[in-house]
């Protein structure tokens, strides 16, 4: 494996009453997408904003290309915050040009506009953009300086499913160029689709770290059988434990055949039976004990 582009060593950020980040260690390798997951208040945004240079750490070390982060880091980093207002009364084109002129080196602006699908809106006032258009513009701004490393803090929050899928394609294309991405998100499907490596944070600490597949394999060896609760009138008579979720009964098992045989033996209809693998949602709840979008 090549040397990390960004190394974070024992990062700590304490506020007077809160330990927001409490000893975080991560490495970001060139050309990969690293997902930082965690419930609200876990310390994700604080961690990312320290790496971006927005906040200073109480202690710890951040190395970029093996050296402590210096002022020129801003020239090589692209940043998309969780929420950013754009200047009113100026157009998409003017906004992009303004940000482009803040950096010594730029990407091909026409290509950036095409790739972020902004061509139709170039002369539109920032105030008139929809949620998806706005997120694409913010991503374009993050890419305007042709960065080596890109920080995306919950980039698809608030977008409709189609806009999210489009955004994922965009991030995939950036990754394909060999850019390094640090992504924070509440959406586990997003993390699973986009990230090569993920870390789950809670209470300011990394509580799990690895590729999505590694983490799922390390924590689960079962699958979930799901059936409508109405199909099992006498749940208490079943020979195994079940969980109720929104009108569905979930049965966790490592031996699917045996479980199905037992359901048949109990005269339960399998007409609506669904079997699913464990996913990052399950892992997240298992590790943090919290609902994903709490």
Partner 1 sequence: MFLKRFFALLSARNKEFLRDKSSTSWNIIMPILIVAGFAVTFTSDFSDQYKVGVFSGTDSDHAQNTNVSTFLKTKHIEFVEITDIEKAIVKIQRHQLDMLLDTSQLQYWINDESPNGYLVEKILNAHGESGLQKQSVTGKEIRYVDWVIPGILAMNMMFSALFGVGYVIVRYRKNGMLKRLKATPVTALEYLSVQIVSRLLLIMAITIFVFYGTNFFIGYAMHGSHLSLLFVFALGAVSMISLSLIVAARITSEETAGGLLNLISWPMMFLSGVWFSLEGTNPIVQNVAEFFPLTHVTAAARSIMIDGAGLLENTYHISVLLIQSTLFLLIGAWAFRWE
54 binds partner 1 (CB under 8 A): yes
> Among 4, 36, 52, 116, which residue sits at the site for partner 1 (rule: CB under 8 A)?
52
Cβ closest to partner 1, residue 146 vs residue 250: 146
Rounded Cα–Cα distance for residues 155 and 15 (Å): 26
CB of 138 to partner 1, least distance (A): 9
Q: Which stretch binds partner 1 (CB under 8 A): 33-41, 68-76, 167-175, 284-292?
A: 68-76
Q: 2 burial class (0-12, 13-18, 19+ CB within 10 angstroms)? A: exposed
Closest approach of Cβ 234 to partner 1, in Å?
Answer: 55
Output the CA–CA distances (angstroms, integers) from residue 259 to 128, 171, 179, 252, 254, in the order listed.
55, 41, 46, 9, 9
The answer to whether residue 18 forms part of the interface with partner 1 (CB under 8 A) is no
Surface-to-core class of residue 83, CB atoms within 10 Å of its CB (0-12 exposed, 13-18 middle, 19+ buried): exposed
For residue 87, the minimal CB distance to partner 1 (Å) is 6
User: Residue 250 and residue 185: Cα distance in Å, rounded?
Assistant: 26
DSSP secondary structure code for residue 99 in this structure: H
C-alpha neighbours within 13 Å on the C-beta side of residue 284:
26
Q: Which is nearer to partner 1, 138 or 263 (CB)?
A: 138
| Residue of 26, 77, 159, 170 interacting with partner 1 (CB under 8 A) | 77
Q: Cα–Cα distance between 150 and 138 in angstroms, integer?
A: 12
Rounded to a whole number of angstroms, the minimum distance from the CB of residue 157 to partner 1 is 14
Candidate residues 3, 18, 102, 122; the one interacting with partner 1 per rule CB under 8 A:
102
Where in 149-208 is the site for partner 1 (CB under 8 A)? none
Q: Which residues contact 89 (CB under 8 A, 6 or more apart)?
A: 125, 126, 127
Stretch in the footprint of partner 1 (CB under 8 A) among 87-95, 222-230, 237-245, 274-282: 87-95
25, 43, 187, 275: CA torsion to nearest 10: 70
**70 is a site residue for partner 1 (CB under 8 A):** no
Q: Which is nearer to partner 1, 141 or 225 (CB)?
A: 141
16 in contact with partner 1 (CB under 8 A): no
Strand order through the sheet with 77-80 = 77-80, 149-153, 180-185, 33-37, 197-202, 205-210
Binding site for partner 1 (CB under 8 A): 52-54, 71, 74-75, 77, 79, 81, 83-90, 94-95, 97-99, 101-104, 141
């Amino acid at each position: 494996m090549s040397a990390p582009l960004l190394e974070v060593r024992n990062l700590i950020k304490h506020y007077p009453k809160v330990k927001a980040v409490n000893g975080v260690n991560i490495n970001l390798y060139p050309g990969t997408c690293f997902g930082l997951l965690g419930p609200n208040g876990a310390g994700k945004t604080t961690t990312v904003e320290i790496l971006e240079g927005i906040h200073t750490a109480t202690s710890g070390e951040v190395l970029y290309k093996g050296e402590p982060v210096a002022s020129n880091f801003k020239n090589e980093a692209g940043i998309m915050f969780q929420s950013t207002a754009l200047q009113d009364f100026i157009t998409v084109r003017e906004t992009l040009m303004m940000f482009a002129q803040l950096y010594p080196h730029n990407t091909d602006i026409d290509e950036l506009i095409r790739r972020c699908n902004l061509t139709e809106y170039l002369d539109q006032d920032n105030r008139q953009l929809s949620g998806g258009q706005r997120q694409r513009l913010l991503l374009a701004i993050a890419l305007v300086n042709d960065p080596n490393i890109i920080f995306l803090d919950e980039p698809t929050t608030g977008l409709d499913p189609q806009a999210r899928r489009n955004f994922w394609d965009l991030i995939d294309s950036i990754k394909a160029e060999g850019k390094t991405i640090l992504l924070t998100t509440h959406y586990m499907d997003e993390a699973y689709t986009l990230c090569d490596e993920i870390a789950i944070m809670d209470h300011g600490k990394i509580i799990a770290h690895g590729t999505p597949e590694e983490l799922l394999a390390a924590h689960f060896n079962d699958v979930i059988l799901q059936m409508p609760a109405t199909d099992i009138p006498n749940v208490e008579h079943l020979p195994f434990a079940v969980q109720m979720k929104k009108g569905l009964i979930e049965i966790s098992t490592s031996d699917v055949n045996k479980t199905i045989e037992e359901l048949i033996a109990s005269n339960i209809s399998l007409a609506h039976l669904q079997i699913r693998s464990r996913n990052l949602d399950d892992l997240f709840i298992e590790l943090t004990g919290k609902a994903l979008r709490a």
